[in-house]
Chain A
Amino acid sequence: MVGLLAIDALRSYPVVDVIYEQARIAGWWLDHYLETNVFYHPFMWRSIATGILIGVVAPLVGTYLVHREMALIGETLAHTAFAGVAVGLVVSSMTGWSGSLMLVALVVGILGALGVQWLAERTDTYGDVPIAIMLTGSFAVGTLIISYGRGMTGFNVEGYLFGNISVVTPSGARLMAVISVVVVLVTVATYKQLLFITFDEQAARVARLNVTWYNTLLIVMTAVVVVGAMQILGVILVAAMLVVPVATATQVAHSFRETLTLSILVGQVAVIGGFALSISQGLPTGGSIVVVAIACYLLAILASSRSTAAISTH
């Protein structure tokens, strides 16, 4: 998927342009074969590739968040990023700046992440009070800014609130590709430390892991993933991809490694199934993806209760 987005980004260069054309022809054939009108269009590739990358990185980071009982952090950071989009919008309309809104959202999202971390440390817990304050507070600021800037721009707020395929701009897709590579590399490099801290924070402190640093890293990665995922899922639904695939995997997995792998697999099923549902029925993508993810979760509960019942009869 990263390769696909790279081809899209570099299509004006020699050699790559040929591959790009070939890929479009392949897409045309795929459309012809499936009787769809999806794969020929580069913007659809971008959306689907971005979606698939979200299906990898959101459950990856989410696995640590869910098991640290920080599931709502994602929702909070999405609201912070929404305030970021609002800031970017007003700045661009006032100054004529044409940079990526996603980039501004990323910066504000990371600042929000550090803010949540700061609050959580000062209140000595990841209790839900600082999270609730940050969640509603940043959304409030976002709505104020949007309202203030509404006269200057014909901005489509709904696209960011509920997610929309057409919101995925080429620069947004590229940002997601970069985010995915970085997040995957960082989580692979810090797998052991994050696992130890997630499972037993005090023992990790005694083993002299820099717990504060890794906590900050996790929360900043969450902000980064949330900003990337916001394009398709929307501010309101983005936390679902951090939480639901992980909850699904937790129902059936036996080990932590298995939880990670399964949650990414469920993420893929949710994204691809969600896209299929959304495209075939003309429904919003974000909602479709989340509904498919929750369907997987319910199935997993049924499957695990059935296996528990099978064990208990022995």
Chain B
Amino acid sequence: MTVVDLENVTFAYGEQPAVRDVSLTVAEGDFLGLIGPNGSGKTTLLQLMLGLRSPDSGSIELFGEPVSSFEEGERIGYVSQQATSGGGSMPVTVREVVTMGRFAHAGHGRLTDADHAAVDDALETVGITDLADRQINALSGGQRQRAYIARALASEADLLALDEPTVGVDAESRDAFYQLLESLNEDGITIILIEHDIGVVTDRASRIACINTELYHHGDTESFVESDALTEAYGASGQVVHHHH
């Protein structure tokens, strides 16, 4: 089954094109790494896929439905750049954040015991049960990422969309975080990941989409590594980045 289907999608901020004529599909169970240089339109493309922005032209489908009429919000877990980098002063506990994953299920009704059980399960899966009553702002970057993933799990999401989730997270927590993503992917959750560290993406993702306004490569990771897409995409903006392990 196709989770995301983009056909000839174009989007511009005023006169400035951000995404031009991009077509790609994400199948159920994919782990797609979305890469490209700074300002290449990665975040815009992800936001288009999720229906946060409307394309100027082209069509987008989510789970087989046009994105503009897609209503099953609980099927998507989204971790934005803004959510993870901004600390803010709002006193919210980890449990409250994870419980937000149940809100789309509960609507205006009260949360049921099943909702609370789903929250407990999600906390346990990502290994932060002992942090449930701590304030989210008091957590380290890596712990906070886990809380957001738990929110998506509590929502029973089929698709996890992550926008540079490990900025400011130490190397050890980052490895553990990607192991968690891999095991969730093995359990059948589709993952779309924006990551600036190309080494991480090629190590973990099963498929790669490399963009710089236009799509330079879309396919499995092996074919990406063998192709010139990276140099072409990054070279196009004049900032070739080599990653060293």
Q: How far is the CA of A313 from the CA of B66 in the complex (A)?
A: 56
Flag whether B241 is at the interface (Cβ < 8 A). Answer: no
How big is the A interface, by class?
20 to 34
**Using Cβ atoms and an 8 Å threshold, which residues of chain B touch A258?**
91
Flag whether A222 is at the interface (Cβ < 8 A). Answer: no
Q: B72 contacts which of A203, A208, A259 (Cβ < 8 Å)?
A: A208
Q: Which of A205-258 contact B (CB under 8 A)?
A: 205-209, 250, 253-258
Q: Which of B211-233 contact A (CB under 8 A)?
A: none
**Using Cβ atoms and an 8 Å threshold, which residues of chain A touch B95?**
255
Q: B50 contacts which of A193, A195, A206, A254 (Cβ < 8 Å)?
A: A206
**Using Cβ atoms and an 8 Å threshold, which residues of chain B touch A310?**
none
Q: Are A195 and B100 in contact (CB under 8 A)?
A: yes
Flag whether B74 is at the interface (Cβ < 8 A). Answer: yes
Q: Are A200 and B100 in contact (CB under 8 A)?
A: yes
Q: How far is the CA of A206 from the CA of B73 in the complex (A)?
A: 6
**Contact A199:B108 (CB < 8 A) given known A208-B73, A254-B133, A254-B135:** no
How big is the B interface, by class?
20 to 34
Flag whether A196 is at the interface (Cβ < 8 A). Answer: yes
What's the minimum C-beta distance from A143 to chain B, rounded to whole angstroms? Answer: 36
Q: Are A193 and B103 in contact (CB under 8 A)?
A: yes
**Using Cβ atoms and an 8 Å threshold, which residues of chain B touch A180?**
none
Q: Are A206 and B51 in contact (CB under 8 A)?
A: yes
From B21-29, B82-90, B121-129, the one touching the partner chain is B82-90
Q: Which of A54-73 contact B (CB under 8 A)?
A: 67
Q: Are B92 and A208 in contact (CB under 8 A)?
A: no
Flag whether B78 is at the interface (Cβ < 8 A). Answer: yes
What's the minimum C-beta distance from B239 to chain A, rounded to whole angstroms? Answer: 27
Q: Which of A154-195 contact B (CB under 8 A)?
A: 189-190, 192-193, 195
Flag whether B206 is at the interface (Cβ < 8 A). Answer: no
What's the minimum C-beta distance from B163 to chain A, rounded to whole angstroms? Answer: 9
**Contact A255:B91 (CB < 8 A) given known A195-B100, A200-B100, A208-B73:** yes
Q: Are B89 and A250 in contact (CB under 8 A)?
A: yes
**Using Cβ atoms and an 8 Å threshold, which residues of chain B touch A206?**
50-52, 73, 76, 78, 161
Q: Which residues of B contact A (CB under 8 A)?
A: 50-52, 70-74, 76, 78-80, 82-83, 88-93, 95-97, 100, 103-104, 106, 108, 111, 133, 135, 151, 155, 161
Q: List 30 A-B contacts (CB under 8 A).
A: A189-B108, A192-B111, A193-B108, A198-B90, A199-B97, A199-B100, A200-B80, A202-B78, A203-B79, A203-B80, A203-B151, A205-B51, A206-B52, A206-B76, A207-B74, A207-B103, A208-B73, A208-B104, A209-B103, A209-B104, A250-B90, A250-B91, A254-B135, A255-B92, A255-B93, A255-B95, A256-B91, A256-B92, A256-B93, A258-B91
Q: Which residues of A contact B (CB under 8 A)?
A: 67, 189-190, 192-193, 195-196, 198-200, 202-203, 205-209, 250, 253-259
- Closest CB pairs A-B (n = 4): A208-B73, A207-B73, A206-B78, A255-B93
